[in-house]
Amino acid sequence: MSICPSEYWIWLQTALGAGAQTSEILAYFETPEKLYLAGSHEWRLSGLFTEKKIEALKNSTPSQTGAVFKECREKGYTIITPDSDYYPQRLAELSNMPLVLYGIGDCSVLKDTVSVGIVGTRNASNYGIETAQKLSYRLAQAGATIVSGGALGIDSEAHAGAMLAKGRTFAFLGCGLSYDYLKENAPLRRAITRYGAVFSEYQPFTPPSKATFPIRNRLISGASLGIVVIEAGVKSGSLITANCALDQGKDVFAVPGDIVRSSFDGTNHLIKNGAKPVFSAEDILSEYEYLYGDLFDIEKASKPLSEVQYVDYRKPKAKRENTTPAPIPQEKKMPVKRQELGDDVSEDAKVIYKALNEEPMHIDDIVRVTGMKMNIVLSSLTELELIGAVEQVTGKKYKLS
């Protein structure tokens, strides 16, 4: 059986590890296939590999990637390698370029020109959370694509802001796409795939670790024109992303924060050392107007953030009394109690919420019943899913949570 090019890329990344310096190796051998066929004698002669790496290359073969391909087929993941149409030039220019990316969603988003990375702490303050969502909203509304890490806190708000503006966004994870990590953020990741995609450099079942996230961070900066740090302490992983951006020759922006709160020490330090302070989306996009001004609307970016309505999709569910409920007979089904939707929920979302019930409803039926266009229905469902009012079930069906 012949070996496809993707298998050679997966073999090489497996042997060398994610984030490995590969620019010299690929310059010397040109392709992973030529590297594999060259054999261990030429690997040694090249002087590019340690004995440990040579053993790693010898201990696996491209044909051992069957389990990866099977999982990708079953879950609908796209395998992206440097010779794929989806692979962006920005990542190809990195000395430690990713040899393989696994993606789900609209993977073309990876090549969007005006992409801006937004990062910050997981334990964000209310100020940081609101700023991240509103700033991302304005950037996406103006035409920029938002890049982040899919984590809690600033990352989540950045993705949410882009989606609420009906813009594009994508995330790089620090674990495999099939690894059950951050269950509370699963609805957000599903929503991202409708407005862009979720990517990982790691094979589908790879668990997260202290090492995987710093390695991942170079991709957030690498795929972006610049990085915006919203809230970060002096030891925050977000500063690793900022340093990656500087090493890659990218712009670094920072939102000024409270000078007496340690969670802003990192961002304020960046500003002190030359990062451009951000007070509006215009402060960011104006840096790229001379190159890509025809790809975004600078007037929309200049509008005040105070005019953006914040959507608190993190509202906790009502607490239950600490009592053990009586068992419910199997033949009876308790009706789902509808939530009281707040004033910050859009009118379109309220119409769709009213049309749904506890029985799963296909998205085509939602369009038919409400008379709304598909793009309005999708964005409204995202809004409802983010606040925990509805949930997606099998296929393209939705029901009340």
Give the pair of three-digit tokens for residue 320. Answer: 């239950």
Q: Would you state the torsion angle of the CA atoms of residues 380, 383, 389, 395, taken in this order, to the nearest 10 degrees?
A: 60
User: What is the pTM (predicted TM-score) of this model?
Assistant: 0.83
Cβ contacts of residue 262 below 8 Å, gap of 6+?
233, 234
What three-state secondary structure class fits 398?
A: strand
Question: Which residue stretches of the chain have pLDDT < 70?
Answer: 1-2, 314-337, 342-344, 394-395
What sign does the CA torsion over 183, 184, 185, 187 have? positive
Residue type, 215: I
Q: Which two tokens stand for residue 242?
A: 């900022």
In this structure, what DSSP letter does residue 251 have?
A: E
Is the CB of residue 263 less than 8 Å from the CB of residue 252? no
Which spans in 179-323 are helix H? Answer: 186-195, 212-222, 237-247, 265-272, 281-285, 289-292, 298-301
Q: Report residue 205 as tokens.
A: 């079942």
- Residue 123 CA to residue 152 CA, distance in Å, equals 8
Q: Give the per-residue pLDDT at 50.
A: 94
CB 361 within 8 A of CB 311: no
CA 20 to chain centre: 21
Q: Tokens for 308, please give them.
A: 């953006």
Dist. CA 352–CA 355, nearest whole Å: 5
Alpha carbon distance 281, 161 (integer Å): 12
User: Per this entry, what is the length of the chain?
Assistant: 401
Q: Which amino acid is at 147?
A: V
Tokens found for residue 69? 């391909």
pLDDT of residue 344: 66
347-400 classified as CATH 1.10.10.10? yes
The Cα–Cα gap between 23 and 11 comes to 16
**105 Cα distance to chain centroid:** 11
pLDDT reported for residue 305: 96
CA dist 229 and 385 (Å) reads: 27
What are the CA-CA distances from residue 20 to residues 15, 82, 99, 387 (Å)?
10, 15, 9, 39
Looking at every residue in the chain, the average pLDDT score rounds to: 89
Helix 347-355 / helix 374-386 crossing angle, nearest 10 deg: 90
- Beta-carbon neighbour count of residue 201 at 10 Å? 23
Question: Could you tell me where the beta strands, DSSP code E, fall in 22-127?
Answer: 78-80, 101-105, 115-119
Domain layout of the chain by residue ranges: 5-70, 106-307, 347-400
The fold adopted by the segment(s) 106-307 is Rossmann fold (3.40.50)
Residue 373: is it exposed, middle or buried by C-beta count within 10 angstroms (0-12/13-18/19+)? exposed
Contact 266, 239 (CB under 8 A): yes
Look at residue 335 in the predicted model and tell me its pLDDT: 60
Q: In whole angstroms, give the CA distance from residue 327 to residue 316.
A: 25
8-27 confidence digits (pLDDT tens): 999 999 999 999 999 999 99
Which residues are CB-contacts of 113 (< 8 A; sequence separation ≥ 6)? 292, 295
Query: In this predicted structure, what is the pLDDT of residue 363?
Result: 84
Residue at token pair 């009340």? 400
pLDDT at 40: 94
pLDDT digits (tens, 9 = 90+) for 127-170: 999 999 999 999 999 999 999 999 999 999 999 999 999 999 99
Q: What angle do CA 101, 105, 106 make, to 5 degrees?
A: 90
Cβ within 8 Å of residue 314, ≥6 positions away: 129
CB atoms within 10 A of CB 264: 26
pLDDT of the residue at 332: 47
Q: Which amino acid would we find at residue 252?
A: V
